Structure 1
Amino acid sequence: MQLETYISDLLYRYDCVTVPEFGAFLTQRKSATVHDSTNAFYPPKKVLSFNEQIQNNDGLLARYIADVEKIPFEVATQNIAMRVKSLKSYLTEGETLTFENIGDLKLNNEGKIQFTPSYHLNYLTDAFGLSQFVSPSVTREEYKKEVETIEKEVPTIAITQEKRKSKSYLKYAAVAILALGLSGFGVTKYYKNIENHNQIAQEEADAQLESQIQEATFVISNPLPAVTLNVNKQIGNYHVIAGAFRLEENSDKKVEQLRALGFKARKIGTNKYGLHQVAYGSYTSREDAFNALNSIRKESNKDAWLLIKKLD
């Protein structure tokens, strides 16, 4: 039994996965960080740890194995117990147990299990698609003295030029006001006559148009046939995720690629980080979803994962 595979699947959704009579794998959310000296950006993630004191069987791991392998719960519990017995014997002999994408386990000098986590996989689904990157440092140049000189000179020059312009404008404005006063009476009377003429012409045109509309008859001799569209809407709360993309156009390309391969791919919205999520398909049954996930991981994408979410 590949026990680490089932543990890894559950760590995406749960903060504690207990292996009965062995210990518990715990996750704790860690916020995004920036290294002060290297300017490296690290996305948010789940930090893994192991607690040997938590060994009570909560049924989570056994139920999951029973669902995936289609076996009774009791049989799954027995298989886990046999695997734990084998793991303890390896540790006693001084061997190091390597759980893929989880970490290494070995006994220390005091006979306690020492856990070294693996950093190859981020179990925080909200950060899917984010990776580490290094940003170049920002250099700044100061021009303080030059800026202070410009700030002192510009207002003085602008005020002097504005005063000269305002004096010239006042002369021309006085002449213009006098001319407008003399001609204003005649212009007002002329435009009043034009306005009355336009009003009468507009009323006649509106009356003629209304009469033509009332007399018109509209006949459609060859109506278009009704069209029926059959739309297969995907439903279900179990979504097998192919990836999450910062740019929406990249998510559109991914959907086209997956559909060309025969998947019923679609976009299922954005997560809290604004990444556009693309799903291979959505399923109403947990069993169908896990079957599809296992098949996709084996054949095309080992990084595919399952999102359980009710879409609006």
Structure 2
Amino acid sequence: MTISQHISDLLYRYECVIVPNFGAFITQTESARVHETTNAFYPPRKVVSFNEQLRKSDGLLVNHIATTEHSNYYAASSKVETFVRESKLALDTENTFSLENIGTFSRTEEGKLLFDPSYHINYLASSFGLSSFTSSSVVRETVQEHLEQDEIEVEEQAPVVVLEKTRETKRPYLKYAAVGLLALGLSGFLGLNYYSSQVKAHNIAEQQKADAQLEQHIQQATFVIDNPLQPVTFKVEKPKGNYHIIAGAFRVEENADKKVSQLEAKGFKARRIGKNKYGLHQVVYSSHSDRLEALQALRNVKRDENASAWLLVQDKD
């Protein structure tokens, strides 16, 4: 595999990939957008930029090459140095060179290095399989309906009922019977309302009585502890952060625990962060949530403790 392929693989998982003595490729997430002129939809993506100032190796690229190609650290470092030497030579002679699926470098007449990223590959893993597309614009038409009131008239008329005058009945006792039935129905309705109000008042009174008895039982069951136990508070600092400074990886779990104890004795916040894809137990000097803080801590470890230490960036939860 070429160096550009190794860099491309790392850009899917890490925010910063440093090429020693050359510079760093940095990714930044960009939200989905729609082009106003072409109506093209672009999914969320990682935008790749280049920083010429970050040249000091953090061990990520070299360790990745050594692991992938099953070589040692020195062979991988030599391959990176050859790549950097050839890239600088191409810039000096032709003023430009390209990295496949990453971008193109060029140098201006003033000697300034420019980087033009490639947009053929989206390095954002959550957008895998999504591609840009163009949709036709939507034209919305407003239809106004003009209805004149004089054109449509709706006229509603109540039906007219003509009652013919009937002859006066010769049976006057039927009138008195109808009045009696009406009076009986009215008295029954009023009596029913009175009974309902009495039942409701009785229910409210009984509910209040039951609540009072329940409150009395609760008060009788209340007790006080004369000598309550003092609260005990533990302050446990939980290691956090997605940036880990790797001290080593061990196949035997006991060796990993011994390494953690040795580093803790030296003052490091060492711990195990689980197994890698090769089944090795990984031990870290410390973990950090800020990338710049992690890079500074890595420099201190490589200078004072272990020159082979490197930075692991895990995906965020």
TM range (shorter): 0.3 to 0.5
Normalized per residue, the structure richer in helix is 1
By relative contact order (CA 8 Å, sep 6+), the higher-ranking structure is 2
- Alignment TM-score, normalising by the size of structure 1: 0.48
Greater Rg by CA: 2
